[in-house]
Amino acid sequence: MAHPVPSAPKRTPLTASMGSSAAHPAHAALPTVEEVSAGGIVVNCTDPELPVAIIARLNRGGRLEWCLPKGHPEDAEDNEQAAVREIAEETGIDGRILTPLGSIDYWFTVSGHRVHKTVHHYLLEAVGGELTIENDPDHEAVDVAWVPLAVLGRRLSFPNERRIADLAREVLPKYR
């Protein structure tokens, strides 16, 4: 059943920069690559605990990290379309965007180059699907879970994503 979407409030998007934007002297000679991803927080608004679908990935060191689903836009997708698709692929949950939550950016070095990554996050309402990692074409997700929004920040591995979770908890009442 379709529900009308309230218009988004006018506000300045959250932008958080993680790490230093200045090149470390040892990395100054490395080529820089710009990457963009999109994803976010998909909430089951029919459950009073407001559970959010999150995924677990193994980092390069083999440690399990719980994070928000996200990925790169494909072909002519815009960031919103990429966020909806990536969340569905990585969690099995179909979502409808309620509002942008802002962007975060950070730097890292891999395979002889520096990467400046910007991730655009959205707040989505779950509208269907079933929690699974079986549809993840890249097999990046190794687990998936529903986590109540009230404790989401304690489950996420990265401080920048915990800030996105705090913002989602703050703005969600405007859409319920």
Place of tokens 């965007």: 97
Q: What are residue 35's phi and psi, to 5 degrees?
A: -125, 145
pTM: 0.82
Rounded to an integer, the average pLDDT of 58-76 is: 94
Buried/exposed code over 117-138 (b: 16+ C-beta within 10 A; e: otherwise): bbbbbbbbbbeebeeebeebee
SS3 57: strand
Place of tokens 């097999």: 139
Q: In 3D, which of 141, 37, 148 has the Cα closest to residue 89?
A: 141
CA-based Rg of the chain, rounded to a whole angstrom?
Answer: 16
pLDDT reported for residue 111: 85
Full 3-state SS string of 76-125: CCCHHHHHHHHHHHHHCEEEEEEEEEEEEEEEEEECCEEEEEEEEEEEEE
Could you read off the pLDDT of 82-135 as tens digits, one per residue? 999 999 999 999 999 999 999 999 998 988 899 999 999 999 999 999 999 998
